[in-house]
Amino acid sequence: MPVLILARHAKAEADGPSDFERTLNATGLAQAVEAGAEIAERWTPEVAIASAAKRTVQTGQAVVEAVNRQSGTDLELTVDESLYGGGVEDWMDAIRSIPAGAQCAYIVGHQPTVAEVIGHLSADAGVPDGFRPSSIAVFDVPSWNVEPGSFPVPEIRSFRGI
């Protein structure tokens, strides 16, 4: 049964040269490491996609490094420019890009879009309130062919970076 993990980037600095260039703050770095450790312990993503913004790349890279350490794989982070500032359909394109044979995929991006995608995928879950930084939504799906709106209610988890 495939697993889809949708994530919001970890806590970022309030300011930066631009929104696109904001980096994770100390708490965010700890959150990304914590999320990576749990994801690596429970799953082995074969696909990892991040928005091109600095903070999402940092979050995704922490997950990739943890997965590679735990499983001995050579997972690489794919950067998707369309996920920064993009909408639900851009996320759907990223989800559709997951190879049919993959058993687990991880995609990290930004609010409010990631919560909107969760609601788009699972009508029963709806759009989650308060999908805070360093949260994940984990969908166990029977196949990658599940129609949007018909995904099961995801397990939602937030990481505090402690």
Q: What percentage of the chain exceeds 90 in pLDDT?
A: 96
Residue (of 133, 159, 156) closest to 37 by Cα position:
159
Mean pLDDT of 107-130: 96
Give the CATH H-level superfamily of domain 1-156.
Answer: Phosphoglycerate mutase-like (3.40.50.1240)
How do residues 50-109 score in pLDDT, each as one tens digit? 999 999 999 999 999 999 999 999 999 999 999 999 999 999 999 999 999 999 999 999
Q: How many residues does the chain have?
A: 162
Hey, where are the domains in the chain?
Answer: 1-156
Q: Which residues are CB-contacts of 8 (< 8 A; sequence separation ≥ 6)?
A: 108, 109, 110, 111, 114, 115, 131, 132, 133, 134, 135, 136
By percentage, how much of the chain surpasses pLDDT 70?
A: 99
pLDDT band at 162 (very low <50, low <70, confident <90, very high): low
pLDDT band at residue 130 using 50, 70 and 90 as cut-offs: confident
